[in-house]
Amino acid sequence: MAIFDKQQAPAKPASGFAPEPVPAPAKDSAANTDFAPAQPPVQRAASSAKESLIAADLTIEGKIEGSGHVRIAGKFKGDVNVKGDLTIENGAKLNGGVRANRVNVAGELEGNIEAASRVELVESGAVNGDIKAETLTVAAGSRIRGRVECGAWGDAKSSSKPNGNGHAESAAA
């Protein structure tokens, strides 16, 4: 037992020093490491969809469909139909129709945007086509050429009545 006590005696002073380093060996730092990566997945869980990128040096022609997000930094000719978000970066160009949850335009879009919950045109953005969205944000310096319909209209077309000069008049007016 004397030998055992001697081994414990040095172990106790070592454990006296160990409380400071104990958190690191006790996997507290591993817990922190586990916690740190947990933050990005939480952010990804909110958007849960993967993002596909068309790089700035690419030119692609075709059709994009899916449930994820799409970021265009190059040139794309064709329709984009995604359940996620579409981002057209500054310097990028998209020729085609767009159906997406949210659309952010910093580059050029030649085509219509349909059924978006939110469309945002930043200062460098340009749209040559019609926009149908619940919410539209237009920054100073951006350009739009086309027809714009914003808001949740519901059944607005059936609630409009023709007036005497042949133009439709909204029931709210």
The residue ranking higher by pLDDT, 57 or 39, is 57
The residue ranking higher by pLDDT, 36 or 108, is 108
pLDDT of residue 118: 96
pLDDT of residue 49: 67
Residue labelled with tokens 């449930």: 67
- Other CB atoms within a 10 A radius of the CB of residue 13 amount to 9
Q: Best-predicted range by mean pLDDT among 22-31, 110-119, 151-160? A: 110-119
pLDDT confidence tier of residue 53, bands split at 50, 70 and 90 = very high
The residue ranking higher by pLDDT, 165 or 145, is 145
Instruction: Give the span between the Cα atoms of 88 and 121, in whole angstroms.
Output: 10
pLDDT of residue 116: 86
- Structure tokens that stand for 70 in this block: 């799409």
pLDDT over 50 (residue 159): no
pTM exceeding 0.75:
no
